[in-house]
Structure 1
Amino acid sequence: MRKTPYLALVVAVFQVIASQGAGYNQPDRLPVDALGVVLLLVGPVAMLTTRRFPITSLAATLMATCAYVAVGYPYGPVFLSPIILLFQTVSQGRRKVAWIASALTAAYFLVYSTWLVASPSPGSWHILAIVAVMLLILAAGEMARYRREGRAEHARVAEEESRRQASEERLTMAQELHDVLAHNISLIHVQASTALHLIDDDPSQARSALTTIKAASKEVLGELRSVLNVLREGAPRSPTAGLDRLGDLVERSGLDVSLKQVGSRPLPAQVERAAYRIVQESLTNAARHAPGSRVSVRLEYLPGELVITVGDTGPATPAVLSEEGSGNGIPGMRERAAALGGTLVAGPSGAGFKVEARLPLPEETE
């Protein structure tokens, strides 16, 4: 709760003028003179310095208030500035200072009303009223502090969530870029090696390999553009890779691939993207480690999961790229499956290699 000079001015005018009026209804108290005005102005002046000297300002205000009452000036408006400063002290988190100051002030008024005040005594109800007002002020300050800290915590959590989402988006883009580059560059390398090997003996086969290289290079440029467009304002947030492009992926792989789909149903975007990338990475591994093999790709749509199986029969020719690659292919596929709550198993199967992924699917709605 920030104070302004205007608020301090309003409090000063109110305390001085209203205290003059309060004196008419309290004939047993002294009229407000020059000293009384000075004591009444201590609180408003302290409000101007409370941001730099919060504890000193509160102490000066409470001491001036106690002195004002001890001299015998009228009760009433003098308590406005202490109320404001006590509330601010608690709400800004200086709880211990505020509670101790309140306890000392209450103890002073107890001593004053019992032993120091001239007859007639204000009585115990007067002290109880002061204590109740102080407790009410402190409770209101605690509530204000709690609300302010709650808003600050909410803002902090929202900022952390924003940073986490941005980090996840960067990781997703990095994974997409890895998969796109790994698959297409491996395919280009394999086909380039084939073309160089056959260019003299079998030009038609070399031409086919070069055509595949052309298509793969065009594909990688298109996918890179779609991933990088995510960084541009207003660009679509969903990647373009999907199972509707699986036929093109198989055709460009340069492998002897049989593709079979059992059943069909709409898939969530993240499941479809993960399935495409798992098949893509599996074909990349087959091209790298098992050239010339026969590869089977099977997608089975079950009620609660999508089962992806990619297996090869083993290399028929020496593996050109068997020792190359980042080594992140299978771990990356496992991460994609695990991120969706699924599983992925990869390992030798007879003379070849087999990858099986199970991705959970939501229940179909009629």
Structure 2
Amino acid sequence: MPPQPSSPHAPVREAWLAQVSEEILDPGLPIVDAHHHLWDRPGARYLFEEFLADTPSGHDVRATVFVQCRSMVRAAGPEALRPVGETEFVAGVAARSASGLYGPMRACAGIVAMADLMLGDAVTPVLEAHLLAAGGRLRGIRNSTAWHASEEVRSNPITPPPGLLMEPAFRRGVARLGGFGLSLDVWAYHTQLGEVIDLARALPGVTIVLDHCGGPLGVGPFARRREEVFRAWRADMLTLAACPNVVVKLGGLAMRVGGHDFDHAPLPPTSEQLASAWRPVIETCIELFGVARCMFESNFPVDKGMCAYPVLWNAFKRLTAGASGNDKGALFAGTAARVYRLFELPEGIAPDLSPRPTRHP
């Protein structure tokens, strides 16, 4: 395997995470984890087995959505088709999970792949190759687009070029997604939300999934300016919410670029601490976009550097403790299942989103 760039994320420390254990809140609430990764990198292995070790935590995770992360990219062949190797790899994981041998959860039931949208109209054969490799599970495309001029603001091992979302060729590529019924996942910092707004308005027929709450930054030039960043972020999110083709993933807030440093403490955070830190952003997203356009995500293993899987989902449940059953159903499973069409799996298995009775010991 060729050498990988170093990760800008907090390293996962299992022994440190194990110091905090919590009772699972609302264990019968169905969950679709709308965003996670799988990879095998130097010092950072997180494949199906590692994911399976996290998910049976007591939370009722019914299905998951894999999002591209340059994993198992082909080492040879045409450059444009090399990311298809990642889809082949993930489709194999999904097939293992769909066998039922590893439990009822359907991992990678939806796949968000990488196809270079700067190819413009020429991206069509790449999308067709992904569709073939995905075995009916391809639901969207994501490119690396999170960019800031400061060297202190980094969340990707490979920094993308600036202004990608505004490039005419990129937008021609995005337009091609609509013809295949595919959505576009976008990871952008709050300083790029103006570009996302422009993109959403220019292509109203393409569903845009905004990752990680729209990326409010808290490092580099934004360190110790949380209130100022929040005001700017909220103003752009309010404008973006007027675009009906945009939905938001709630999560990704345990990345270092967000300015939190839970990983520096002797003990990992509790769900109460996470909920307190994340409440302004999560509640604002739900207020502006509504439950039908918001979905929770784990962003594992990236966020695992700062918190454990069961604690993360407990935090989300604390943040929605006052919501109705229908609203919780949408936020934790329904929106993700609808947006990523998880009821259309070719093997005929779709996650049952009806609540399960709570089991008592």
TM-score normalized by the length of structure 2: 0.21
More helix by share: 1
* Higher RCO (C-alpha under 8 Å, 6+ residues apart): 2
Which protein is bigger by CA-based radius of gyration?
1
TM-score normalized by the length of structure 1: 0.21
